[in-house]
Structure 1
Amino acid sequence: MSTQTSSFSTPPSVAAQIARLPEMPMAEIRALWQKLVGGDTPTHNRQFLERRIAYRLQELEFRKVDANLLDRNQRRIESLVETGKVKKRDRDYRPAAGTVLVREYKGVEYRVIATADGQYDFQGRMYPSLSMIAREITGMRWSGPLFFGLKPPSNAKTKPATKKRGGR
């Protein structure tokens, strides 16, 4: 029997494609840019090109997972153009599948990956909420979206200054 590999192989994962970018010759980077984005590369800055190509690869892959992503983003863009203001995210906002959330806590870096089924992969275990992971990390109750920086702390909202009245 022959040990040749089949001509029908699955394409490398998005992560594998992104991992290969730094090793690719610049000519291949330019060709990949042309294929994914179209047109000539806007700069010769390799790091810029690699980041944009990585983003595009993820965009193409993960929009298959979340078909509503493009529609949701288009509605937000239209709202921004119409009102001039960015609408706050919905309370049940969840990051797109494949998003990696990174948080450093007490000198240790923690990584969480959002999955297509709405759960979160943390250290090889699945969790239904970011809050459960934040509690696992800190030992205290935390808002998961707050802990991972998906929403600002409530004290970040600036309150109008109040005038102090002096006594007469």
Structure 2
Amino acid sequence: MSTRIGLISDTHGLLRPEALAYLQGSDFIVHGGDIGSPQILEELGRIAPVTAVRGNNDREGWALQVPETEFLQVGELFIYALHDLALLDIDPAAAGVRVVVTGHSHKPLVQEREGVIYVNPGSAGPRRFTLPISAGELIVDGPRIEAHIAQLVQ
């Protein structure tokens, strides 16, 4: 039986209905930062347990409770989340991490390096320049992991 982990980032206070619809059916959700308001996490929490990290724009008092980095273990899988990949402070492969989830750039990315899958689901919040509005998912089936990005709005 596979596990679906919904990935979202850079909502900046806007949780689009398309993002909520896309994340339905997730077993877990990881938010890669720049959340924008605690209500975003509350709404996501109605879908599935949320692991969230604080982004560089999450400066209000509520955000101080949100860690800058976070580990999520799903079965044998270790996921490491942080907002800005440039601030990666661990060697994921050496730490046993299979997936690193980030945000910040608003640019969707799925890339595997040295056995580690790096996923940036892009931005699900307000449009920035001509970048897509997107979210992502991990499908975990035992040792097999698939990462996908979905464009939410044309």
TM-score of the aligned structures, taking structure 1 as reference length: 0.25
Structure holding more helix per residue: 1
The structure that is strand-richer by fraction is 2
Greater RCO (CA < 8 Å, at least 6 residues apart) = 2
TM-score normalised by L of structure 2 = 0.27
